[in-house]
């Protein structure tokens, strides 16, 4: 069983003090110490005020002020994202700084309440949200320091540039988003991929490492002052479940056999491309999976698609033939939701949204949905092209807006997702319905509806490369981070690769040691951004999709379900979304599954992909190993290389060239041959 959390008042933190005349005096002194010095290690940090009237008055004032602050910050963020100038960037930073000050002041007020004993459950929930989140418990200098460190780590990541492959005296101006990601997706050159993988990791990790060490210290200090064991414990609090890690582990265990079937098939195709550099029973090098982090394998689809003669589902050409415009794409997306009986987009949406890329200014083109926190203004920013990919993106972003519209009448704190990752889950569940032959046929974009076996397996392979291949990576990022917070900063890089080998079957393509600090090459590590929510979103999107399909009366395989025009599905979805964050997510999941479960569950995703899993098992019958064998080479190679290169580095070497490595490689080869 998961451990039960013990709730303690501030006064309970003073239990080691000498006897005092009354409990009231003891609590008063304890609270004074906390306000002066910012230190307590109780669970949770609370004050003495149990007056419901005071609490409700504070929450009303907070809601009004926080909504205005949220609107100001969002406007500044929008202005910068839609007109990238230095002035707009500085204005955004100024507003975000002001918001941090407001949140600190609100936190100081919230912790004066004995909020766990406030009789009103909604007020208790709001107070807990204010009191247990963020790092306001730090002193001013440390509070400013941790957010400065995070900003500096993000800046290193965002501004990182690397040199082109084999280009002498060329400009070193290749960026991740515009250049490196495309190369990793398209190149078939093993050495070129290796170069960019290594260059990107080298550009981030060593520069971030020392800042990250200090960040861990400060994050842990803030968490302990707030009554948590460490910063990982505080991050997990967002998921409101003592058994959350156990639930995640159970899902990974359930998914792993299917993942290993997919992995084995993909490895066989990569061996066909790259030859004996890949062991036919071993893990895969991290740089050849179509992605700089080996997190999403979609770019391998052409290499691994089961039936090459069967066409990939793509209606882009038909959209162009029908002269469909970006505006029409947004109208098509809106009509999907109104066909379910859900809300149309408000007038402000059509007035202020950016649907096409402006020609008169620089804009951040990543599609995004915006809630301006005033219950009126909702927008999408998207540089829309007439492609099927952007048609799906339009539905995806509009699903976020539907969530905003459904929960807009709650207080600000409850105008949020039920659990981190649920916003993404809702949008992706809608995507599972829209990205089907059945739906595209109904809206007139696909003339020939083919339900043949070949196209179904191809489709499921594409979806598995997007979703299932991503799950182990989505799982390990925060497993690694939580372990750093709880166990310390020793062997951070070694543990990163241990987790990647254990759950993904991925190994570094070149020797790594602690100086590399490879985890920082993922933005969410450097940016102090939670990652477990992406794991949650994958699981919940299939649970939600299955429930909506069942209530809509769908029969047949789950991956062929289209929710279009199902009022029953629309009613259930509206009921789920309208609660926002006002109730524990377990209640929402129980309602979503109509009483089947109140937990994350892998059953729906396994059902969706069952036809592909059966096919993969047949394809892998002749493979020597399903999954990967972690032999002595794989277990020991990181430590072996770490020691050698650390010593070599300490002896004065600063750069590693292949010609330098030749004598060393001979020694290593002899070592492995003699195993």
pLDDT digits (tens, 9 = 90+) for 564-620: 999 999 999 999 999 999 999 999 999 999 999 999 999 999 999 999 999 999 999
Question: Higher pLDDT residue, 655 or 389?
Answer: 389
Total Cβ atoms within 10 A of residue 113: 26
Given the structure tokens 């083109």, which residue do they identify? 365
pLDDT score at 168 = 72
Convert 396-429 to b/e letters by CB count within 10 Å (16 or more is b). bbbbbbbbbbbbbebbbbbbbbbbbbbbbbbbbb
Report the range of poorest mean pLDDT among 206-210, 318-322, 376-380, 631-635.
631-635
- CA 652, 656, 657, 660 torsion: positive or negative? positive
Using CA atoms, how far apart are residues 289 and 193, in angstroms rounded to an integer? 10
pLDDT score at 595 = 95
Instruction: Return the half-sphere exposure (C-beta side, CA atoms, 13 A cut-off) of residue 554.
Output: 25
Using CA atoms, how far apart are residues 531 and 293, in angstroms rounded to an integer? 14
Instruction: Return the half-sphere exposure (C-beta side, CA atoms, 13 A cut-off) of residue 545.
Output: 30
Q: Which DSSP string do the residues of 32-54 spell out, in sequence order? A: HHHHHH----SSS---SB--HHH
Given the structure tokens 């279009």, which residue do they identify? 564
pLDDT score at 22 = 38
| Beta carbons of 196 and 175 less than 8 angstroms apart | no
Using CA atoms, how far apart are residues 377 and 264, in angstroms rounded to an integer? 49
pLDDT score at 88 = 98
Question: Who contacts 265 (Cβ-Cβ below 8 Å, separation ≥6)?
Answer: 304, 616, 619, 620
- The whole-model pTM stands at 0.89
Longest CA pairwise span in the chain (Å): 85
Mean pLDDT, residues 415-440 taken together: 97
Pull the structure tokens for residue 645.
């290169």
| Beta carbons of 63 and 411 less than 8 angstroms apart | yes
3-state secondary structure of 662: helix
| Beta carbons of 627 and 616 less than 8 angstroms apart | no
The closest of 294, 456, 319 to 390, measured between CA atoms, is 319
Using CA atoms, how far apart are residues 503 and 479, in angstroms rounded to an integer? 11
pLDDT score at 353 = 98
- CA 288, 289, 291, 293 torsion: positive or negative? negative
pLDDT score at 137 = 93
Q: Report whether pLDDT(374) > 80.
A: yes
Report the range of poorest mean pLDDT among 42-46, 253-257, 303-307.
42-46
CA angle centred on 29, ends 24 and 32, rounded to 5°: 125
Given the structure tokens 């690769």, which residue do they identify? 497
Pull the structure tokens for residue 296.
């999403």
| Beta carbons of 428 and 264 less than 8 angstroms apart | no
- Chain-centre distance of CA 559, in angstroms? 24
Q: What is the pLDDT of residues 263-279, one digit of tens each?
A: 999 999 999 999 999 99
| Beta carbons of 518 and 496 less than 8 angstroms apart | yes
* Rg for the chain, CA atoms, rounded: 26
| Beta carbons of 429 and 561 less than 8 angstroms apart | no
Which residues does residue 507 pair with via DSSP β-bridges, in sequence order? 285
């Amino acid at each position: 069983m998961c451990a039960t959390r013990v709730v303690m008042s501030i006064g309970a933190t003073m239990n080691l003090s000498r006897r005092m005349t009354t409990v009231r005096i003891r609590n008063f002194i304890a609270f004074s110490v906390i306000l002066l010095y910012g230190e307590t290690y109780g669970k949770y940090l609370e004050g003495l005020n149990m007056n419901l009237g005071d609490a409700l008055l504070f929450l009303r004032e907070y809601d009004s002020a926080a909504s205005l602050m949220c609107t100001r910050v969002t406007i500044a963020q929008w202005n910068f994202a839609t007109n990238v100038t230095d002035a707009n960037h500085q204005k955004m930073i100024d507003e975000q700084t002001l918001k941090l000050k407001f949140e600190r002041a609100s936190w100081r007020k919230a912790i004066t309440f004995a909020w766990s004993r406030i009789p009103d459950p909604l007020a208790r929930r709001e107070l807990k949200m204010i009191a247990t989140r963020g790092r306001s418990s730090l002193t001013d200098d440390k509070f400013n320091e941790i957010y400065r460190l995070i900003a500096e780590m993000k800046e290193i990541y965002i501004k990182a540039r690397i040199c082109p492959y084999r280009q002498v005296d060329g400009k070193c101006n290749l960026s991740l988003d515009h250049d490196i990601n495309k190369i990793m997706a398209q190149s078939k050159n093993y050495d070129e991929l290796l170069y960019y993988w290594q260059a990107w990791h080298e550009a981030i990790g060593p520069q971030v490492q020392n800042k990250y060490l200090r960040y861990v210290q400060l994050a842990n200090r803030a968490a302990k002052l707030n009554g948590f064991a460490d910063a990982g414990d505080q991050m997990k609090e967002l998921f409101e479940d003592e058994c959350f890690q156990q639930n995640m582990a159970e899902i990974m265990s359930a998914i792993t056999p299917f993942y290993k079937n997919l992995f084995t098939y993909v490895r066989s195709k990569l061996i066909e491309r790259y030859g004996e550099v890949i062991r036919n029973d071993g893990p895969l090098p991290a740089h050849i999976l179509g992605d700089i982090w080996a997190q999403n394998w979609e770019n391998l689809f052409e290499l691994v698609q089961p039936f090459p003669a069967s066409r990939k589902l793509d209606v882009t050409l038909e959209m162009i033939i029908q002269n469909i415009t970006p505006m029409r794409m947004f109208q098509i997306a809106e009509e999907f939701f109104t066909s379910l009986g859900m809300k149309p987009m408000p007038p402000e949406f059509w007035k202020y949204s950016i649907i096409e890329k402006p020609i008169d200014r620089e804009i951040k083109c990543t599609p995004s949905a915006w809630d301006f926190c005033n219950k009126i203004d909702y927008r999408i920013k998207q540089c829309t092209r007439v492609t099927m990919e952007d048609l799906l993106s339009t539905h995806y972003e509009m699903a976020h807006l539907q969530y905003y519209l459904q929960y807009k009448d709650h207080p600000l704190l409850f105008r949020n997702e039920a659990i981190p990752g649920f916003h993404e889950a809702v949008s992706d569940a809608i995507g599972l319905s829209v990205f089907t032959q059945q739906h595209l046929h109904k809206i007139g974009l696909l003339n020939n509806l083919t339900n043949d076996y070949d196209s179904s397996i191809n489709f499921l392979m594409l979806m598995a490369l997007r979703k299932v291949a991503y799950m182990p990576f989505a799982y390990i990022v925060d497993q690694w981070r939580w372990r750093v917070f709880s166990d310390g900063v020793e062997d951070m890089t070694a543990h990163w690769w241990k987790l990647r080998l254990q759950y993904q079957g991925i190994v570094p393509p070149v020797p790594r040691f602690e100086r590399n600090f490879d985890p920082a090459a993922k933005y969410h590590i450097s940016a102090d951004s939670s990652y477990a929510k992406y794991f949650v979103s994958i699981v919940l999107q299939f649970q939600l999709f299955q429930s909506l399909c069942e209530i809509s009366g769908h029969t047949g395989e789950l991956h062929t379900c289209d929710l279009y025009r199902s009022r029953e599905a629309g009613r259930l979805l509206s009921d789920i979304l309208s609660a926002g964050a006002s109730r524990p997510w377990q209640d929402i999941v129980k309602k979503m599954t109509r009483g089947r479960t109140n937990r994350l569950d892998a059953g729906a995703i396994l059902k969706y992909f069952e036809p592909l899993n059966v096919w993969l098992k047949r394809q892998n019958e002749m493979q020597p190993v399903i999954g990967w064998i972690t032999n002595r080479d794989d277990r020991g190679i990181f430590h072996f290389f770490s020691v050698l290169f650390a010593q070599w580095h300490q002896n004065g070497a600063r750069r590693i060239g292949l010609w330098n490595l030749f004598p060393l490689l001979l020694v290593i080869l002899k070592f492995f041959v003699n195993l």
